[in-house]
Amino acid sequence: MKFSIVITTYNRLSLLRRAIASSLAQTVPCEVIVIDDCSSDDTEAYVRSLGDRVLYHRNATNQGHSAAVNLGVQKASGDWIKPLDDDDYLAPDCLEGMLAAIAQRPEAVICSCQAAQVNEQEVELSRTRRVGTRDSFYVPQEDIHYGMLLEWLPFGTPAQVAFRRDAFLQSGGWDSSLDTNCDDIDSWIRIAQYGDAIFLNRCLAYRTVWPQAYNRRFPVQKRFETNLLMKQKIYQAVSDKHRQQVPPFAAIHNYLRLHWSLVALKQRQLGPAIALMGPAIASWPAWQLLLQARAGGAKAAAKSAQTIQQIPLLPSSPGPAAALGSGNGE
């Protein structure tokens, strides 16, 4: 089994250096690909200076983030793809940990780990929450979308996720109409139709939180609309096994209104907050979903374990991947 790391970049050489360095420092052999979306800085000169350690492609014109990811996957020779934005980076044993888990569940098509949120000085601000009650487990395909719908199984950002190349291609790749606004989540929804999902409660990646992040360009209303679209897609993909337990979509719609109105209030955008909240303020089912989502942590993990199969993966040995079953979440 071979991994390819696909790094997409555009005019952020100072950050790209770190992403490439973390990829070349992996404890298992892998292919490293950089897709340069027509940068005007010194990106090309730097990456070419690395020689054959990195496969480099420069777009003749700026195609956008989603198209860059699609091109990188097409050029990759690995069975599994680890996407990486240029402002994020990996722990040295990221691929080793994922490979050890994937080897135990060949039916898996997607794998997610915890990530540390860091600032521009690489100071850790927080970590993505643990998923489920085990340190490493897989979820059968028929349970995935139900867990995604109720936010019990958040795959997270590209820094956290790896996927099987054939499933990605079969799913149609990333949708450029969603460029940097849930194009990743949209892809996870479709990839998860083709097999099982692995979750590792272990921090193997680092995601930079900074004002210039692409997804911060979108107004709250636009982010709400895209989030609603993602929920509609997940709702339609829920298996018959869980169909009777799924809340009415009207409740989910109103829950999202409440969530994004609170986001707007936090950003001191009173007008958008009032517009978003609207009739949702009187929806008790929506408030229940909001409170359930805000509870998170152990309560959400326990609730999900009652409904969704979380089948443990055994710890591996020797080497760093043995920490899969260590119980420390690291």
- Give pLDDT tens digits for 268-310: 999 999 999 998 999 999 999 998 887 765 555 565 556 788 8
From the list 144, 132, 135, the residue with the least C-alpha distance to 107 is 144
Strand partners, 172: none
Strand partners, 7: 34, 84
Q: Where are the domains of the chain?
A: 3-215+311-319, 217-300
| Local structure of 126: helix, strand or coil | strand
Average model confidence (pLDDT) across the chain: 90
DSSP H stretches of helix in 25-164: 43-49, 65-75, 94-104, 141-149
pLDDT tens for each residue of 128-153: 988 877 889 999 999 999 999 988 88
Task: For 229-256, write each residue's pLDDT tens digit.
Answer: 999 999 999 999 999 999 999 999 999 9
**Residue % of the chain over a pLDDT of 70:** 89
Q: What is the pLDDT of residue 36?
A: 98
Other CB atoms within 10 Å distance of the CB of residue 217: 10
Q: Cα(225)–Cα(253) distance, rounded to whole angstroms?
A: 10
User: End-to-end alpha-carbon separation of the chain, Å?
Assistant: 25
pLDDT score of 215: 59
Residue 31 and residue 95 in contact, taking contact as beta carbons nearer than 8 Å: no
Please report where in the chains the tokens 């606004």 appear, as a residue. Answer: 181
pLDDT band per the 50, 70, 90 thresholds, residue 317: very low
pLDDT digits (tens, 9 = 90+) for 141-194: 999 999 999 888 889 999 999 999 999 999 999 999 987 788 999 999 999 999
pLDDT interval class at 325 (50, 70, 90)? very low
Joined together, the tokens standing for residue 228 give: 């609603």
Which one-letter amino acid corresponds to residue 215? Answer: N
Question: Could you give the angle at the alpha carbon of 305 between the alpha carbons of 299 and 308, nearest 5°?
Answer: 130
pLDDT at 320 over 50: no
User: What is the sign, positive or negative, of the torsion defined by CA atoms of 71, 75, 76, 80?
Assistant: positive
Count the neighbouring beta carbons within 10 Å of the beta carbon of residue 316.
Answer: 20
- Answer CATH for 3-215+311-319 from 3.40.50.150, 3.90.550.10, 3.30.365.10, 2.40.160.20: 3.90.550.10
Radius of gyration of the chain (CA): 20
Distance CA 97, CA 99 (A): 6
Q: Is the pLDDT of residue 316 over 90?
A: no
pLDDT of residue 299: 59
